[in-house]
Every structure is written in C-alpha cells, then in structure tokens.
Amino acid sequence: MLRLVNPLLRRLISAGLPTGAPNVLLTTRGRRSGKLRTVPVGMVDLDGHWFVQGSYGQTGWVANLRVDAEALVTHPGGRQVRVHAVELTPEEAGAVLRRALQRYRRSRVLRALFGPHFRPPIGVMWTLRSRVDDRLDDYIAAARHNPLFDLQPKYGAEEGEGRVG
C-alpha cells in the first residue's frame, strides 16, 4: 500500500498541497547503496523539536538514519533544512509521545475498530487530536517497536542544498 501512496504524497508535499497530516519529505543516504532515498513521513513539532516516528517498525529510512544520522527535511512547498537525527531511547520516546498526545481525548473508536494494540503513526494521531494510551508504559512499549527520532536542525548549513551528509 505504501508503495502506491508514497509517490503521490511526495508530489503533494513537494507542491505544497495539503496531505491531511503534518507530512514532510525525509531524505537519507542509503546505508548500502549510498544513494539518496526520499520518503514522506509525519513530523510533529513539539516545544521546538521535530520528531518523526518509524510507524511501521524497522523500515529502510529508520535503518538509514541509524547508520548516518544526517538527513534533509523538505517541508511542503520546498523549504529544505539539514538535520541531525538523534534516536531516543524507548523511555525517552514514550515520555515524548505521551506529552505530545496527553492533551487530546482518548479515542475509544480507534480501540474499538483496531484493538487495544493498534497504534497509528504519531503524525496521524496529532492530526486527529487523539490518543490511544493512558499509561506511560503503553507509550514506552509502542516506542520499542516504533523508534522515535529527534531531528535537530543544523543551523549555519546551506539550506536548499540537495546533498545529505
């Protein structure tokens, strides 16, 4: 499904059109090929920090960031910012996820439709103004399977430059 949706999302984000979520393009260097790889990801801006979550587990971009933490974030409309990605521990990530979503209502609908262990991407939950967990332990458990990265802008670096690393 993602292989069908991602090309469309890349075009929409590049054109600055709404996608229904706080999506950006994340460009990483392939850990084996060395080629630049660009994927749409949901990004949450919380207290001046940008967070992206590996919502589908250990995907390619997650592995790429673990090998080379340098990346390029392209915001809707084309503004580019070089970043350094720091992977949070599950405990740190759980606390961030809880803080990001605690002001929103608990979604009984999501639990009823998808079960108690379903957890949509944080970007989707942020957009829907919803949360599914009540206990910090639930957020930490989710972060063990869905890593969270803090994308720290590299100020002073050339913006708009298409290179990473």
Token code pair at residue 91: 């405990």
Residues across the chain:
165
Domain 2-153: which CATH number of 3.30.365.10, 2.30.110.10, 3.40.228.10, 3.90.1150.10: 2.30.110.10
Give the pLDDT confidence score for residue 2 in this predicted structure: 54
- Is residue 84 exposed (0-12), middle (13-18) or buried (19+ Cβ within 10 Å)? middle
Contact status, residue 147 vs residue 94, Cβ threshold 8 Å: no
Per-domain boundaries in the chain: 2-153
Tens of pLDDT along the chain (165 residues) come to 556 776 777 777 777 777 667 889 999 999 999 999 999 998 999 999 999 998 777 889 999 999 999 999 999 888 899 999 999 999 999 999 999 888 888 888 877 887 777 777 777 777 777 787 778 998 898 899 899 999 999 976 444 444 444
Give the pLDDT confidence score for residue 160 in this predicted structure: 46
In the chain the first and final C-alpha atoms are separated, in Å, by: 30
Give the pLDDT confidence score for residue 81 in this predicted structure: 96
pTM of the model: 0.80
